[in-house]
Amino acid sequence: MTDELSSEDAKLVTLARGARGRIGAPEGAAIRDEMGRTYSGATIHTASLQLTALQLAVAQAIAAGATGIECAVVVGATDTPDIGCVSEIAGSGVPVLLCSSDGSVRSRLTT
């Protein structure tokens, strides 16, 4: 279903799939900030650190000085991601695409 996405959103799917695959994580995520820069991350679960893939991608964007998010993608296991970290920086109306491991869009949420 990525052929129905804009090229920029399809790029986010590719980045999220790559982040997930690099460490074999259950989820990967990618976001595009208000300047068009992209950030990706994978789920992290260690004894002292637990972050969803989406939280990691958003944290990287904030650390780089982003003040908004245009779009977010989550690839993998979850059907109900906590999108609060996206809405906290971006406000309402931001699309969050939930994708299967093959990159096909399962559903679309909005912050």
Query: Among candidates 19, 32, 33, 45, which has minimal Cα distance to 101?
Result: 19
Say what the pLDDT of residue 1 is: 42
- Per the confidence metrics, is the pTM higher than 0.85? yes
CB 86 within 8 A of CB 96: yes
Which domains are assigned to the chain?
A: 2-110 (3.40.140.10)
Say what the pLDDT of residue 4 is: 80
Name the pairing type of β-strands 95-99 and 69-76.
parallel
CA gap 98, 13 in Å, rounded: 9
Q: Which two tokens stand for residue 110?
A: 């909005």
pLDDT tens track for 52-76: 999 999 999 999 999 999 999 999 9
| Residues present in the chain in total | 111
pLDDT tens track for 96-106: 999 999 999 99
CB 27 within 8 A of CB 52: yes
